[in-house]
Amino acid sequence: MRPFHFPCSRSSSKSPADLLGFAVVIVLCLASSTSSCTDQDKSFLLQFLAGLLEDGGLAVSWRNDTNCCKWEGITCSADAMITEILLASKGLEGHISPYLGNLTALLRLNLSHNLLSGGLPLEELVSSSSIVILDVSFNHLSGALQELSVQTTTRPLQVLNISSNLFIGQFPFTTWKVMNNLVALNASNNSFTGKAPSSFCISAPSFAVLDFSFNQFGGSIPPDIGNCSMLRVLKGGHNNFNGDLPDELFNASSLEYLSFPNNGLNGVLDDANIIKLSKLSILDLGQNMFSGKIPKSIGQLKRLEELHLGQNDFYGELPLNLGNCTNLKVIDLIFNNLSGDLGKINFSSLSNLTTIDLLMNNFSGTVPESIYACTKLTALRLAHNNFYGEFSPTMNRLRSLIFLSIGGNAFTNITNAFHIFKSFRNLTMLSLEESFAHEILPEDETIDGLQNLQHLAIGGCSLFGKMPAWLSKLRNLEMLRLSDNQLTGSVPVWINNLNFLFYLDISNNSFTGEILRTLMQMPMLKSEKTVDHSDARVLSTYWDSKYEYRVLRAALNIARNGFIGVIPAEIGQLKALSMLDLSFNSFSGEIPQAICNLTNLEVLQLSNNNLTGTIPSELNMLHFLSAFNVSNNDLEGQVPTGGQFDTFDNSSFDGNPKLCGALLSHHCGSAKVVPVPASTLSTMQFSDKAIFGIAFGLFFALGVLLDQVVLTKLRVLQL
């Protein structure tokens, strides 16, 4: 949309004669630039400048004794009238002066990406001036938008962008009756409440772009938006809308972009409605409560590029004619109850697909060969369905894959799988969780490639075997999860050659030996900078219906194995650690004082070992420690007090008869064992469960979380 072409001419046609005229106008413009703006216009600009607390250096050129047509950000017409004020990203602070509305020839005002605050003088800006384009997005403007008081003459305003500010309150309704030229309105990312604006198109027949996403609009989606026959873009995601998509909405047959993710919408998608939107290129209705089947008529949307229907209650089979949407790039159907054999759909005609995301559905059968014709695929997630069988050798055509997640299915032959996956040179994330049950983790040296792999998750597969040497070649590995298998042997020394590894989870296996001295050398965990590194991965919250998760931090989890030996003082070197879990092993000796040096620790689990001695009292200096458990050891002496220790439940210390403390049954300095009152007991049981829930949630959800994160990153790259 280019509603406005040149400051000297409002013509928008493009015939050769006009182009000649255009050239003449340029010359005129240049020639006329010597004539000076009026003193009155200059004074209005100086009023604006006076309202700024921080002018971003404007004052250097904005001087009273010079021609204001030459000031920074100002453009004038041939007759020295101010037509444009373009001051985006200048670091301006302060308020927007209503006097800008007194510039009678002003066409374009762009103040986006500054730090302007206070109200928007909409009344003055649009009622007295000739403004066509007004962009004040990405500022700190606040307050409510007033209805325009005078409702007589029509306004030339075509584009209004007030997005990403702090506006609140109801959106004006009557104001738009005089905006007969309005083409685009962007009110997204504010805090507007009440009913969504809708009645533009009765007065503005060319209205084409409406974005009110990321607000707090509620109620139902207004049906009269369907009157907008020229509407191309409609974005209303991340509000509180409820009800269904009104039938009338589908009369807006020019729609190319229809998006209402993350609302409370419900109902079914009607075949007869969907088919009316034949120009649709992006359909995003994710994170709502839509139900029923995915309508067959989607297959007739020839221009469809992105289909986002994830996190709803859709069920049944995918429409077979989906293969007719040959422009599809993204299919996102996560968290529904979709089922059936994908083999009935011909994916080979969808050669532009870059993302297929089917996480958490009930799809079954083998993975259809035709998917392997989609050679542009960068992300494929089949996790948590009912797929089975071996991967076909033709899968090696998916050489663009960056993200592959197939866990939670009944796939077989992990050896075969790795021999295929090794040809995915660009793969950075590979998750095989909960598949290939009871097979042997291949140790075959010919598994190579995968040089770019950063995240490898093979947890929960009950795999036999050892930690294979080919892992040592994955020099970019940051995260390795082998938990919940039946792996044996020792942890090899080469683990320290993985220079980027900051998350290692080998819990619940049958590893043995004195592991710790090896792990004390892990470079990323020793690095002081790691904290920043892992904080940089702060990931969007992911909700999987049971657990909520936030971040992936430096972690060492070797719980539930057969490790022996003492915890060496060198543990204090692993400064980056947020989580250390050594529980359910056979560690002996004392808890080293140096563990108090791990100031980033949030989780420290030492329970069910054979630890003796006292609990170092300086542990109470670990300010982030929120989970701590030393139960079932042979510790003695006093439980530390103060700091986070005032928040830990008794159950953290259970099963250490020689421990004493004010809250424990064994008080320090008294030999008498006080019986535990029943009420305390039930609290303890409850807390036990809570702690288990938290810990379990953390490790269960991480795989899914990680998937989500990486996938989200990929999406950002693609869009």
Ligand X SMILES: *[C@@H]1O[C@H](CO)[C@@H](O)[C@H](O)[C@H]1NC(C)=O
Site residues (vs ligand X, CB under 6 A): 46, 64, 88, 101-102, 110, 112, 124, 128, 133, 135, 137-138, 159, 161, 163-164, 184, 186, 188-189, 209, 211, 214, 233, 235, 299, 320-321, 323-324, 326-327, 351-352, 399-400, 413, 415-416, 419, 426, 569-570, 572-573, 586, 588, 594, 597, 610
Min. distance of Cβ 373 from ligand X in angstroms?
11
The residue written with tokens 């420690």 in the block is: 625
Alpha-carbon span 339 to 326, nearest angstrom: 22
Q: How far is CA 715 from CA 261, 402, 541, 718, in A?
A: 15, 12, 16, 5
Min. distance of Cβ 235 from ligand X in angstroms?
6
Query: What does the DSSP 8-state code read for residue 206?
Result: T
Alpha carbon 358 to chain centroid, angstroms: 18
Min. distance of Cβ 632 from ligand X in angstroms?
9
Residue whose CB is less far from ligand X, 302 or 550: 302
Residue whose CB is less far from ligand X, 186 or 361: 186
Residue whose CB is less far from ligand X, 7 or 299: 299
Min. distance of Cβ 618 from ligand X in angstroms?
10
Cα Rg, the chain, nearest whole Å: 32
Closest of 505, 529, 374, 488 to residue 433, by C-alpha: 505
Residue whose CB is less far from ligand X, 64 or 647: 64
Residue whose CB is less far from ligand X, 186 or 600: 186
204 within 8 A of 228, measured Cβ to Cβ: no
387 within 8 A of 366, measured Cβ to Cβ: yes
The residue written with tokens 């509180």 in the block is: 240
534 within 8 A of 554, measured Cβ to Cβ: yes
Min. distance of Cβ 503 from ligand X in angstroms?
21
Min. distance of Cβ 6 from ligand X in angstroms?
14
Alpha-carbon span 171 to 180, nearest angstrom: 18
Q: How far is CA 655 from CA 309, 550, 668, in A?
A: 50, 32, 16
Min. distance of Cβ 139 from ligand X in angstroms?
8
Alpha-carbon span 619 to 612, nearest angstrom: 16
Residue whose CB is less far from ligand X, 96 or 701: 96
Residue whose CB is less far from ligand X, 216 or 610: 610
Q: How far is CA 707 from CA 261, 362, 387, 477, 701, in A?
A: 20, 19, 18, 15, 10
Min. distance of Cβ 218 from ligand X in angstroms?
19
Residues in contact with 354: Cβ distance below 8 Å, sequence separation at least 6, in sequence order: 329, 330, 376, 377, 378, 379, 400, 718
Residue whose CB is less far from ligand X, 131 or 664: 131
Alpha-carbon span 329 to 331, nearest angstrom: 7
Residue whose CB is less far from ligand X, 199 or 327: 327
Residue whose CB is less far from ligand X, 314 or 436: 436
Residue whose CB is less far from ligand X, 281 or 384: 281
285 within 8 A of 264, measured Cβ to Cβ: no
Min. distance of Cβ 315 from ligand X in angstroms?
21
Closest of 81, 74, 72 to residue 32, by C-alpha: 81
* The residue type at 207: F
Alpha-carbon span 532 to 67, nearest angstrom: 50
Min. distance of Cβ 106 from ligand X in angstroms?
12
Residues in contact with 469: Cβ distance below 8 Å, sequence separation at least 6, in sequence order: 443, 445, 492, 494
Min. distance of Cβ 122 from ligand X in angstroms?
11
